[in-house]
Amino acid sequence: MTPEPLHLGVALDGAGWHPAAWREAGARPADLLDARYWVDLAREAQDGLLDLITIEDALGLQTGHWSGPEPRTDRVRGRLDAVLIAARVAPLTSGIGVVPTAVVTHTEPFHLSKAIATLDYVSTGRAGVRVQVSVRAHEARHFGRRTIPQYGFAQIDQPQPQALVAELFDEARDWVEVVRRLWDSWEDDAEIRDAATGRFVDIDKLHYIDFEGAKFSVRGPSITPRPPQGQPIVSLLAHRTVPYRLAATSADLVYVTPHSTDDARAIVAEVRREQADAGRQGEQLHVWGDLVVVLDDSESSARARLARLDEVAGEQYRSDAEIFTGTADQLADLLLDRASAGLSGFRLRPAAIPDDLTRITRELVPALQRRGVFRTTYEAGTLRGLLGLERPANRYAA
């Protein structure tokens, strides 16, 4: 039986996911705050016919410590806003989806709804958003509107931190609901634009959303007409039950972090149970596996490159996702094995840019194409189309 075609994306973060990546010979650390750098990365991903790129973001300086910033000066510090990077990249690309990260814990849903709707317009239907929850005290202190206690990583499974996590993810669920309602608050044909009659808009086709929740009270409608996709893609990264539940309730795509095929099978099963409990068993929810990738001409040389990066960093690199070291062909085999567990695609995190990004687009993609499991041309003009998702009906239309 021929395997199902795979979906593939890359997660872009600075010079790469390894903290020493910026010191590699081919890196461009001087360009990290230059819009052309991000356009170049997006176009490279597009040349590989990838489904999408995600752009990392946070509301605090980059850090390897759970509890807050670290005093090291040999790490990349400072970043551009992901949504604004996406708005720059989108008009200069075609085919590939553009999915910035939004930290929803400290961001008003009305603001982000119109930003992502605008991104959908400037990309002609290739926008999405990666919803991220912040439980970090130092990020909360930037805003001063709420207090989040300082917890260490070892404390995260204790009752009080878990109660906080549950509260923040409940808030994130409401955040997504508000955003989705705002995207629907204009019917598709609300704009008439008839100069002869002087009617630009049909006011009866703009709708109040009247959302009342624990944290948000939003009347609407949006100030931005309904996006080209109707609903841009909502995605999130999840590691355990509470975020799986948010994905099952509210998302189109969830990135998960299995460390084996059996682990992937168990995670997919849990996500599907949560999806059924949420009453969405008839809807398509993509579950993609995340992997950090270090690619080279041989497995031994890939391992040696990772060891060299670790030596430069002064410590072993660790990640929430599995770290793969090997060749593009070996990675292709691994992805097919993991796909047999129910994953419909993968989001790859290049350890070093451009080296691992170009090996994904120029070596991994051809390896998957030879196996008959990856596209040879973009088959749709929208991100929803690439993911096989229909354009949803407007909930407020008669």
Residue-wise pLDDT for 313-344, tens only, equals 999 999 999 999 999 999 999 999 999 999 99
DSSP string, 279-312: T-TTS--EEEEEEEEEE-SSHHHHHHHHHHHHHH
Tokens of 96: 């590939």
Give this prediction's pTM.
0.95
pLDDT, average across residues 157-169: 86
pLDDT at site 160: 85
Answer whether residue 287 shows pLDDT above 60. Answer: yes
pLDDT, average across residues 204-224: 95
* Residue 38 backbone dihedrals phi, psi, to 5 degrees: -70, -35
Q: Confidence class of residue 148 from pLDDT cuts 50, 70 and 90?
A: confident
Answer whether residue 67 shows pLDDT above 70. Answer: no
Buried b (16+ CB within 10 A) or exposed e, 219-258: ebbbebbbbbbbbbbbbbbbeeebbbbbbbbbbbbbbbbb
Q: Which has the minimum average pLDDT: 131-135, 222-226, 237-241? A: 131-135
Using CA atoms, how far residue 97 sits from 50, 52, 208, 356, 389, in Å, is: 8, 4, 30, 20, 13
For residue 52, give every residue at least 6 positions away whose Cβ sits within 8 Å of its Cβ, in sequence order, or none: 9, 96, 97, 98, 99, 128, 233, 383, 386
pLDDT, average across residues 130-141: 88
pLDDT, average across residues 292-307: 98
Answer whether residue 152 shows pLDDT above 90. Answer: no
Q: Which has the minimum average pLDDT: 61-65, 85-89, 311-315? A: 61-65
pLDDT at site 66: 63
pLDDT at site 137: 80
Single-letter code of the amino acid located at 336: L
What residues form DSSP beta bridges with 294?
Answer: 325
Q: Confidence class of residue 60 from pLDDT cuts 50, 70 and 90?
A: confident
Single-letter code of the amino acid located at 188: D
pLDDT at site 72: 86
| C-alpha gyration radius of the chain | 21
Q: Confidence class of residue 83 from pLDDT cuts 50, 70 and 90?
A: very high
Q: What is the mean pLDDT of the chain?
A: 95
pLDDT at site 146: 82
pLDDT at site 2: 56
Domains in the chain (CATH in brackets) are 7-170+229-383 (3.20.20.30)
What residues form DSSP beta bridges with 286?
Answer: 253
Indicate the SS3 state at residue 299: helix
Answer whether residue 265 shows pLDDT above 60. Answer: yes
Q: Which has the minimum average pLDDT: 59-68, 91-100, 247-256, 383-392? A: 59-68
Distance between CA atoms of 387 and 375, rounded to whole angstroms?
12
Answer whether residue 238 shows pLDDT above 60. Answer: yes
Distance between CA atoms of 373 and 376, rounded to whole angstroms?
10
Percent of the chain with pLDDT over 70: 98
pLDDT, average across residues 65-75: 77
